[in-house]
A and B are shown apart, each in its own frame.
Chain A
Amino acid sequence: MTPDDMEERLGRILGLGTTFSTVMFAAGLALWLTVDGRPSVDRLLNAGIIVLIVTPVTRVVASTVIYIVQRDWHMALMTGLVLLSLGLSVVVAMQR
């Protein structure tokens, strides 16, 4: 995979995540304004938030996999370290 292919593939992941969360937010907000207080609306908005947060994390996971497949160990180590610190944040978040 050339760097250009990689850029496009990662761009597609980010675009997909953004589209999904935008659709959920638009639908959720429209419902929130019309039928206030429904738990299903809250669930939809919360799902949108989770997709939003997970999108850049998915991008880092994908980059790590690509670098490992390409045997670019220097960059695989870098993205692995980023993933490790994101993992630590998940642990902290779960404890709250």
Chain B
Amino acid sequence: MSLATLAAVMLAGTAAGGLGALLGLGGGIFLVPLLTLAMGIPIRQAIGTSLLTVIAMSSSVSAGTAGRRLINMRLGMTLEVATAAGGLVGGITAQMLSPRALYIVFGTVLTVTAAVMFSRLDRRNVILDPTADPGWYGGRFYEEESGREVVYRVRRMPLALVGSFLAGNISSLLGIGGGVLKVPMLNAWCGVPLRAAAATSAFMIGVTAASGAMIYYGSGDVAPSLAAAAVLGVQIGSRGGMHFGARAKARGLKLLMASVMIGVAVLMFVRAAQ
């Protein structure tokens, strides 16, 4: 393994840590094509390494945001059941869908969700009345942007469960955490404010990636030096992301999220066309 490869993986880890702290994404969706297409690393090894990066991002970001009430543990741990089940049956559905069909479906879902997100840039999910009842799955947290405690309720829980199942499914197929599906879904359709959706997604995807990572590691598809470089990068990136995340406006974060999604959708369509 060359020093240049290690440096590139470390940089990718830094980006994943930053995106994770800001948007709850593990960055695997960018890391896998980077490792395979740009560096010629075999796909299984790239996926194994990417899953480890996702775990590192998840643990590091959640340790950093814990105590700010942004992580909705009740919601996250319930959706984890659907994600884990999705990950387990991922192998079965993989045989039913061709990779090309998978890329097209994934790209289409992302494009539609990004469009919804763009149309809702100024719509807020937060209820400014701190005495409002958040319900069984909702939550409350101190929001710096409005300078007070805000409340939110979770809507369309069945949709959140189905979406998490699909995210888990795609996760084990593509070597990603699935945050790119879960965060916009929770924000655009289920009533969760972006910051809480991001923190909850970051909290969840470590578990999603862990089950996949075990299988890849057991099969010998993880290069230890690549994993080490990626984790060190994540440490740097997540610190930076948390620093900027607290100051960023929700509108700016939504714009960033929608742009990332469009980028990923284009990537998927390009791969479908290949």
Contact = CB atoms under 8 A, between A and B. Distances in A.
9 contacts: A14-B58, A18-B59, A18-B60, A33-B3, A52-B59, A55-B206, A82-B81, A85-B81, A85-B87
Contacts of A81: 81, 84
Contact of A45 (B80, B81, B225, B235): B225
Interface in A69-96: 75, 78-79, 81-82, 85-86, 88-90, 92-96
Interface of B: 3, 6, 52, 55-56, 58-60, 62-67, 69, 71, 73-74, 77-78, 80-81, 84-85, 87-88, 206-207, 209-215, 217-220, 222, 224-225, 227-229, 231-232, 235
A90 B217 CA distance: 10
Given A11-B66, A14-B63, A86-B84, A22 B73 contact: no
Q: Label chain A's interface by main secondary structure.
A: helix
B134 to A, nearest CB: 11
Contacts of B56: 18, 21, 52
A63 B59 contact: no
Given A11-B62, A21-B56, A53 B214 contact: yes
B232 A22 contact: yes
Interface in A44-65: 45-46, 48-49, 52-53, 55-57, 59-60, 63
A46 B218 CA distance: 12
A55 B59 contact: yes
Nearest to A81: B81
Given A22-B232, A49-B52, A8 B85 contact: no
Contacts of B84: 81-82, 85-86
A46 B81 contact: no
A86 B69 CA distance: 26
A78 B74 CA distance: 9
Residues of B contacting A: mostly:
helix
B217 A86 contact: no
A88 B89 CA distance: 12
Nearest to B80: A82
Nearest to A43: B224
Interface of A: 3-4, 6-8, 10-12, 14-15, 17-18, 21-22, 25-26, 28-29, 32-33, 42, 45-46, 48-49, 52-53, 55-57, 59-60, 63, 75, 78-79, 81-82, 85-86, 88-90, 92-96
Given A22-B235, A45-B228, A11 B67 contact: yes
B63 A15 contact: yes
Contacts of B63: 11-12, 14-15, 18
Contacts of A7: 66-67, 69, 71, 73
Across chains A and B, which 8 residue pairs bring their CB atoms closest together, nearest first?
A11-B66, A93-B218, A15-B63, A45-B224, A56-B206, A89-B211, A25-B228, A85-B84
A96 B218 contact: yes
B232 A85 contact: no
A89 B214 CA distance: 7
A90 to B, nearest CB: 6
A25 B66 contact: no
A57 B77 CA distance: 12
A9 to B, nearest CB: 9
**Which of B56, B227, B235 has the most chain A CB atoms inside 10 A of its CB?**
B227
